[in-house]
Amino acid sequence: MTAIMQQKYERPLSRDDYRQASRHSVRLVTWNAKEPNLAGAIRTAEAFMLDHVYMLRKPKCMSPTVGTENWQPTTYTTNLLEAIQEAKRDGYTIVALEQTNASVRLTEAILPYRMCLVAGDEGEGVPPKALALCDMAVVIPQYGMVGSLNVVTATSIALYEWTRQHGGQHHD
């Protein structure tokens, strides 16, 4: 076994320090309504320590979250447009994760530090009324036949890119 394989990954925070830690200035609003994706969105948001998640409903099966629902601030609401408007009032730039004529390739986009990422539902995408509230749209370059990704996978890629650009730093 090589030396690099012998190194153990250390959590950046202890569980005791976690609740007091500042969260990243990113919110997620998702129209995702399919059961496995609901839990996946919570787990993904917690992995990136997002400020807050807004989704249509609570997952029926929480086991895919592996307990992250206890850590990730999440609001279940049918009025996701209000969540976007609240983020705007709070100074967040609204970024749609959507394929539009005006979308910027994620690899070329400069993502805002205070970002509210808006993700659509599988197949339906981001609703037009929500797109109208967005300041920009980003698209993940793809080369296969299908032309789209699972919404949680796409969200994970976008959040990774935000972390890459901002270094995972907390700026309060």
Instruction: Name the phi and psi angles at 32, rounded to 5.
Output: -55, 120
Summarize pLDDT for 123-158 with one digit per residue, the tens: 889 999 999 999 999 999 999 988 889 899 999 999
What's the pLDDT score for residue 67? 55
* Domain-embedded: residue 14: no
Q: How distant, in Å, are the alpha carbons of 14, 31, 62, 92, 163 from that of 136?
A: 36, 17, 32, 12, 18
Query: How many domains in the chain?
Result: 1
pLDDT tens, residue by residue, 12-50: 666 677 667 788 899 999 987 777 788 888 888 888 888
Residue corresponding to tokens 């609204």: 94
Q: Is residue 6 part of a domain?
A: no
Q: Is residue 128 part of a domain?
A: yes
CATH value at residue 38:
3.40.1280.10
Answer yes or no: is 13 within a domain.
Answer: no
Cα-based angle 44, 79, 72 (whole degrees, multiple of 5)? 25
Residue 66 has pLDDT above 50, yes or no: no
Looking at the domain assignment, is residue 154 inside a domain? Answer: yes
